[in-house]
Chain A
Amino acid sequence: MISVTGVSHDLGGRAVLHDIELEIPKGKVTALIGPNGAGKSTLLSLIARLARHCAGRIMVDELEVGVCASNTLARRLAILPQSSEIAPRLTIEELVAFGRYPHHLGRPGKHDREKVAEALTLFDLDPLAQRTLDTVSGGQRQRALLAMIFAQDTDYMLLDEPLNNLDIAASRSLMALLQRLAREHGRTVVIVLHDINYACAYADHIVTMKGGRIGPQGDAETLVDGRLMHEIFGTDAVVHRIGGRTFVAV
């Protein structure tokens, strides 16, 4: 379980997170939703120690973020940041292989190579394995980055808007894959999503954020309704429930 207690954060003197209290359940897909500037990405990057939080405490199971060794955390938790400007001349296989670095520190063994092969196959990257990142499409690049995070083989995966650059087919298969990772492999997935419909369809748990504070949370069916859309997003979108599923009309 990831537990965040009393976390506040400033960016350039401006408070972006206020006294956050949050518990993210283990083995589930948790979606973070909210308007632009709500602090979702900031919260995610604090949990992944990309920035040092100003106040409060973040625990990933028994590991305290910022206190435990960075390498230890890298074997427990992985993050895919929003815009990863990553070495364009690497081949996809080389990039995915980097996911194993926290485990082997530069000397990959047989097990590491198997994990890389597994990730390449799972993300359907085998035919692209020897292509360099600057010669593949945005969606393929995104899949390669996800495969790297997957190969890192961590209990927790944090994804910051991974559906950017992906078309509907790729988005659906990625979300289905994340759901499978949670259900079958017991991985915990925390994902920042822009499109609420994807959150409703695939997340087990939805956390809303607004203005640097945590809003209501729950599952799609009980949480998402017209009032929530108005309160959190400030728009009067109509919410439909069809066949036990929730849809926000856009």
Chain B
Amino acid sequence: MKPTNFKHLFSSYDGNENLFDEIFDKKQNVRKVYQKLFDIYNDQSIEEFINLNNKAKTSFFNQGITFQVYNEEKAQEKIFPFDLFPRIIDADEWKIIEHGVLQRCRALNAFIWDIYHDKNIIKAGLVPMELISSSANYLRQMDGLDPVGGIYNHISGTDLIKHSDGKYYVLEDNIRCPSGVSYVVYNRNALKRSLFGVFNHYDIHTVTDYSENLLEILESVKPKGVDVPTCVVITPGVYNSAYFEHSYLAKTMGIELVEGRDLVVENDFVYMKTISGLTKVDVIYRRIDDGFLDPLEFKKDSAIGVPGLFAAYKKGNVTLVNAPGTGVADDKAIYTYMPEIIKFYLGEKPILNNVHTYHCSRATDLKFVLENIHNLVVKPVDEAGGYGISIGNRLTKLEIEAVKKVILQNPRKYIAQPIMSLSVHATYIEDCQSFEQRHVDLRTFTLLGQDKEFVLKGGLTRVALKKGNLIVNSSQGGGSKDTWVLKK
């Protein structure tokens, strides 16, 4: 039965039975957790909703909650598209997600430690050395170096999807500089401002405690001998796509936001230039990629880094969060080995599923990929933001041949996965002035510190706004939703 009382907002809601709908079950009945919310939205007229939607958009614009899209011609600044219908995750479901992402983050941390120390997992023949040595993010300068508390991936963003079987699968582990958490908080604020009444009917975990937990994590990895650490956030600058987030995090943690030129290294200690002289800096939450951190150690032409920073880090006088070289595990080819990695270091079975992955570097996999591109998603191993992804069933014959050619030029650079059907969620579509099914994913945020772990009870639900589109990245025209995690 299709809901009849939603004739306005849900007038063109065409439930595709082959997709997993977060709100409606197979029989098109509203799922229990959504029932109350569904009833509340039902009381609104379409005009009221359009009005609310416009207000929310204006609010985002006025607050400068924007992001940059890079393309070949120019960089464009866009408002982050926000959908007023939240996603709800009930307590039991969340428990699985939380345990699952924590397990992955712990295992990845142990893996990175091992890679930069004894390399036992490679010597055991479980992960090929070639995969590590060919990774652009493998920093040999980290060999034998012990970060404070043994933590590398202090901040992780794990991307999950729900497949048509109703189970969660991990798509990616982002452990370089994952972004998006500021949008989680602003989505919540925007929804509270627009529809505060709906919050009375649900008992939801807060998401605004992220910054205080992040600050605690930063302070927990202070260098030895420091009592009260000075922490800063370093940004590449105002032209970076995530600058809004950098400034948001610094502001809400109550710490300084700096650029490379604001810091100076003297005798292997890092100082911040202030109007009252130099202030020693102990912990740096860096939102600059490894290669640009220090022109004397990495890329010579980096103008956004701090000369001498790596030497100060190596001496243990400053902590960098996340640790340099962490990206070695943020590689889609390493992702394939996650079940083995979890088993090897933790002796546990993975809680969350992995999507089966074909490595183009393996001859048999390569053959399969080349023969079955039309049924696969081909991804470059080291790109973020959804760039370079080819979805096989959307390609013309000519395009398939072009993809094959690109893969064959450098097979190590590509992996392929079966086309997963992301779950769909009712999303307001402006052009149709009604709700429609759109594919969604979920980015969770996990923090690891010395004797402290934290998973943000919420996350960034990203929506592919184009009908049928599976790529949810904001840089590719995706939007987002507030994500509610219910209390038990």
Are A and B part of the same complex?
no
